[in-house]
Amino acid sequence: MQWSAILLAAVMGTNPSTDVAHNTPGAASYASYTQAWHAAQAADRPMLVILNAGADTPEKAIDAATLQADAQVRQQLDNYVVAVIDTTTEHGQKVYELFESPTLPRVVVIDKKQDRQIFRTSDKLSSETLAHVLEQHKSGVAEPATTTSAAKITLPTSMAPKSVYSGCPNCQKRYTY
C-alpha cells in the first residue's frame, strides 16, 4: 500500500468506535476503509480490500455474503480484516483514487503492518483461486524480493549471443563468433 493510503486513514479521521462493522459468521466486514484499517492495526492482521463499482454497473460486485458463501474462502477470512468498499460513495471514491485501481472490482491484500499491497488484481477470481490467494498471504508478511548471488555471471565472448549485438559493425569487431 502506498503512503497515501495511510494518509487517507489519518485524514478521514473516523473514530473506529463509532463506525459500524457488518458482522458475518467468521469475519467482520467493513464498509469503511478507515475503520477496517484501524481494526487491522489493532488485530495485527492483514486486510482484504475489495473495491466494487456499485450496483448500477454491469460488473458483478463482490460482497461479504458472496465471500461467505464458499466454505474454503470463509475459512480463510478468519485471518483477515475485510473491507468491501462501494466506489460510488464519496468515501469509496477517495479510496479508489488512492488505490489507483484500473478496473473494478479490485481485490487487494495488504500486509499486517498496513503499509504494502502484497497481492492485487482486477481479474475475475474463482472461489478456489481466491481461497488459494488468501491461504498464501494469511501471515500478512510481504515476501522479500528474490535476489541472486553476489557473484557476477559472465559469459566468454565467444559464447555471447548474436541477437544481443544486432548488426552493429563496432560490436562485430569486438566479438568473435
3-state DSSP helix/strand/coil % of the chain, to nearest 5: 40, 15, 45
Degrees, nearest 5: CA angle 133-35-53: 60
Query: What three-state secondary structure class fits 22?
Result: strand
Q: Is residue 175 part of a domain?
A: no
Number of domains composing the chain? 1
In a domain, 161, yes or no: no
- The answer to whether residue 125 is domain-embedded is yes
Q: Looking at the domain assignment, is residue 26 inside a domain? A: yes
Question: Residue 30 domain-assigned?
Answer: yes
Structural domain that includes position 51:
3-136
Residue 85: CATH number of its domain:
3.40.30.10
| Report field, pTM of the whole predicted structure over 0.75 | no
Question: pLDDT of 105-164, one tens digit each?
Answer: 999 999 999 989 999 999 989 999 999 999 999 999 887 655 455 555 555 555 555 555
Residue 25 lies in a domain: yes
Residue 30 has pLDDT above 90, yes or no: yes
